[in-house]
């Protein structure tokens, strides 16, 4: 078979790219290794920054987000047993939307179906070839195990950090940083214990209170790198969260049945450039940020917005300037997010073996951030998302 753009991966990057291309009359095929049920159930990101929210509305896939998502106008930094609010909207004029990544994925899959552009789920053995030639190809097995080949004008590698696309592009320079801790994430059927997100600095480690709906709370705990989920029975999770989230005025955490729990390693990673021949990488396939600050999914959205425009120019008008500048354009935003995520992570986590010097610096940075309007505004404008280029 033939298509103009072969897209590997049906995460936010692949689905949104396909949607944007189809809207411009460009033909694209999305190949996804997992089942539809799996990708629709995978619990991950929850914060959409302002430019992401605007884009989803503009292109006509924001209706359920606006009906069910939770607009937030601030969040708290909690340390020394007290909250300090970062008033996002007062400081920047913008807000964020708490709306699960898998809800965006569901909305985009539904939009594909409605327009008659189904996504191919449960494909296997995906292999890219001739990515530096004129006619790159994707070989794979379809859901029934039949060998298939897709001839493309370009391939978009949107298959996440562990996908096959990045390894198919020789010579990219990886730049990375590992952190000596991970996040244990839990989803619980219980109303949020506070109206807003709470990012907590505590000597026992970082904790984050977030939410998905008025009935469902999302919580994260810093845990050691390579921590086994078996080390964390539900009772231990609740008592550790209560210890870290405690305030001097008696904050009480609402407990409830835990619906999902998982451990996520933390790393910073960028592959440069984000292109090799006719293969373009987007989203987690090209870069990873530690989750503190909620930039990962939003970066994936920003990448494919740039990529869709570049591919429309290339494939419809045979103009390659935007394709040539794709990587540089994206990397400017990527490195801003890399810095922001690294600095939020560094300010809020307790490194194993950290000494008083490090702790005093973190506390000083936290106090400065919440007492200086300039510092709070800088954090807020990064958090709500800088305007697209
Ligand atoms: P993915 O969502 O990883 O999608 C890649 C897809 O490709 C997957 O569906 C995968 O199954 C498929 N695939 C992989 N290999 C193959 C193959 N060989 N063939 C075919 N298909 C393949 N980001 C935020 O912006 N805000 C947050 O609040 C936030 N919180 C997070 C919390 C946690 C616990 C985690 C884990 C991540 C969080 N992130 C957050 C990051 C965010 O989830 C990712 O950055 C985002 O999923 C990237 O989207 P993507 O489409 O690039 O990749
Ligand atoms: C969530 C995840 C994050 O990484 C973050 O910084 C804020 C919220 C969440 O899943 O709700």
Torsion angle of the four alpha carbons 123, 126, 132, 136, in this order, in degrees rounded to the nearest 10: -40
pLDDT of amino acid 118: 86
pLDDT of amino acid 371: 98
pLDDT tens digit string along 214-236? Answer: 999 999 999 999 999 999 999 99
- Ligand 1 near 126 CB (within 6 A): yes
Least distant ligand from the CA of 72? 2
pLDDT surpasses 90 at 389: no
Q: How far does the centroid of ligand 1 lie from the alpha carbon of residue 68, in Å? A: 22
pLDDT surpasses 90 at 365: yes
Q: Which domains are delineated in the chain? A: 5-46+100-172+273-344 (3.50.50.60), 179-265+350-383 (3.30.9.10)
Say whether 25 sits in a helix, a strand or coil.
coil
Under the banding of pLDDT at 50, 70 and 90, the label for residue 378 is very high
Tokens encoding 222: 């810093």
pLDDT tens digit string along 140-153? Answer: 999 999 999 999 99
What is the number of residues in the chain?
Answer: 389
pLDDT surpasses 90 at 179: yes
211 upstream amide cis, omega within 30 of 0: no
Catalytic residue numbers read: 72, 199, 291, 295, 383
pLDDT tens digit string along 21-72? Answer: 999 999 999 999 999 999 999 999 999 999 999 999 999 999 999 999 999 9
**Cα R_g (the chain), whole angstroms:** 21
- Ligand 1 near 6 CB (within 6 A): no
Q: Mean pLDDT throughout 320-343?
A: 98
Query: Greatest CA separation found in the chain?
Result: 66
Task: Let me know: does 293 contact 336? Beta carbons within 8 Å.
Answer: no
Most informative mutation of 71, 184, 294 for ligand 2 (most atoms within 8 A of CB)? 294
Give the phi and the psi of residue 329 in degrees, each rounded to 5: -60, -50
pTM over 0.90: yes
Say whether 117 sits in a helix, a strand or coil.
coil
pLDDT tens digit string along 2-16? Answer: 999 999 999 999 999
DSSP secondary-structure letter at 176?
Answer: E
ipTM score above 0.90: yes
Residue nearest to atom 29 of ligand 1 (CA): 45
Give the residues surrounding ligand 2 with Cβ less than 6 Å away.
45-47, 197, 208, 210, 218, 291-294
pLDDT of amino acid 299: 98
Q: How far is CA 380 from CA 94, 155, 159, 299, 386, in A?
A: 9, 36, 30, 17, 10
Least distant ligand from the CA of 187? 2
Point out the ligand 2 atom lying closest to the alpha carbon of residue 98.
Answer: 11
Residue nearest to atom 11 of ligand 2 (CA): 46
Residue nearest to atom 9 of ligand 2 (CA): 46
């Amino acid at each position: 078979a033939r298509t103009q753009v072969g897209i590997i991966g049906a995460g936010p990057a692949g689905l949104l790219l396909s949607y944007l291309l189809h809207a411009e009359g460009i033909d694209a095929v999305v190949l996804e290794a997992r089942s539809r049920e799996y990708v629709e159930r995978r619990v991950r990101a929850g914060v959409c920054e302002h430019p992401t929210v605007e884009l989803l509305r503009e292109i006509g896939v924001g209706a359920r987000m606006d009906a069910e998502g939770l607009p937030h106008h601030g969040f708290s930094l909690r340390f020394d047993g007290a909250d300090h609010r970062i008033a996002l909207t007062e400081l920047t004029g913008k807000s964020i939307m708490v709306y699960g990544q898998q809800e965006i994925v569901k909305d985009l899959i539904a939009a594909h179906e409605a327009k008659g552009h189904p996504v191919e789920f449960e494909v296997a053995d995906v292999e890219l070839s001739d990515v530096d030639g004129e006619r790159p190809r994707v070989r794979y097995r379809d859901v029934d195990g039949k060998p298939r080949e897709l001839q493309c004008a370009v391939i978009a590698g949107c298959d996440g950090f562990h996908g096959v696309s990045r390894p198919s592009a020789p010579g990219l320079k990886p730049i990375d940083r590992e952190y000596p801790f991970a996040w244990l994430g839990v989803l619980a059927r219980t109303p949020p214990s506070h109206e807003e997100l709470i990012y907590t600095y505590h000597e026992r480690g970082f904790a984050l209170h977030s939410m998905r709906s008025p009935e469902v709370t999302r919580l994260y705990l810093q845990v050691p790198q390579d921590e086994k989920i078996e080390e964390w029975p539900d009772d231990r999770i609740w008592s550790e969260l209560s210890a870290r989230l405690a305030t001097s005025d008696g904050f009480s955490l609402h407990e409830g049945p835990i619906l999902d729990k998982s451990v996520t390693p933390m790393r910073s990673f960028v592959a440069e450039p984000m292109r090799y021949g006719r293969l373009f990488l987007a989203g987690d396939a090209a870069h990873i940020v530690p989750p503190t600050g909620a930039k990962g999914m939003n970066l994936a959205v920003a990448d494919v917005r740039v990529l869709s425009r570049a591919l429309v120019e290339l494939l419809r008008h045979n103009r390659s300037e935007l394709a040539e500048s794709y990587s540089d354009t994206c990397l400017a935003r990527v490195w801003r997010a890399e810095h922001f995520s690294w600095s939020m992570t560094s300010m809020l986590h307790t490194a194993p073996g950290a000494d008083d010097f490090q702790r005093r610096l973190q506390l000083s940075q936290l106090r400065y951030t919440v007492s200086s309007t300039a510092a709070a505004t800088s954090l807020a404008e990064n958090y709500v998302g800088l305007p697209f280029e």
